[in-house]
Amino acid sequence: MSANSKLTVAAHTLTWIGLYQRRGNDVATSEQIATSVNTNPVVIRRLLAELRRAGLVDSRRGAGAGWMLTRNLASISLLDVYEAIEPGPIFGMHPSPPDPECVVGHGIGPAMTTVYDGIEATLRTELARTTLEDVLRDVLKTA
């Protein structure tokens, strides 16, 4: 099973746009962003559409088309990004109900829900502590 990289790619995309705008550019194209992420521009456009629905980016069409942040990097937390792209819980329960006559089947849901709720709360707390400005600062330290 591979790890989900969607949050990383979204943070990369938004941080890149923020730095690009900070350097005096008005909008960024999906092709430019895709080059940095090393993926297909279609992947970036799909991701940016989700981020636009959440109000984190906007786009301009026609001459000078591209994407821009709607807020500065310091006001966008990783939790904002996570909620924009991962609307559901981290972990899910069985796709079909387990056997209620089985002792494990009967009790697994409540037992795992308690664990999952704790993990979700911890994740949200940690993501809320970090802004994309923090991410950019750490990125620039390694450059």
Domain borders along the chain are: 6-142
Q: Give Cβ neighbours of residue 18 (< 8 Å, ≥ 6 apart).
A: 69, 72, 73, 132, 133, 136
**Which tokens hold the place of 101?**
């006559």
Residue 4, pLDDT score: 83
pLDDT tens for 81-119 read 999 998 788 888 998 999 999 999 999 999 999 999 999
**Which tokens hold the place of 120?**
């979700």
Residue 1, pLDDT score: 42
Q: Give 6-142's CATH code, choosing from 2.60.40.150, 1.25.40.10, 2.60.40.10, 1.10.10.10.
A: 1.10.10.10
Q: Does residue 36 carry a pLDDT above 80?
A: yes
Q: Does residue 3 carry a pLDDT above 90?
A: no
Q: Does residue 22 carry a pLDDT above 80?
A: yes
d(CA 19, CA 73): 9
Q: What is the 3-state secondary structure (H, E, C) of 69-94?
A: ECCCHHHCEHHHHHHHHCCCCCCCCC
Neighbours of 19 (CB within 10 A): 17
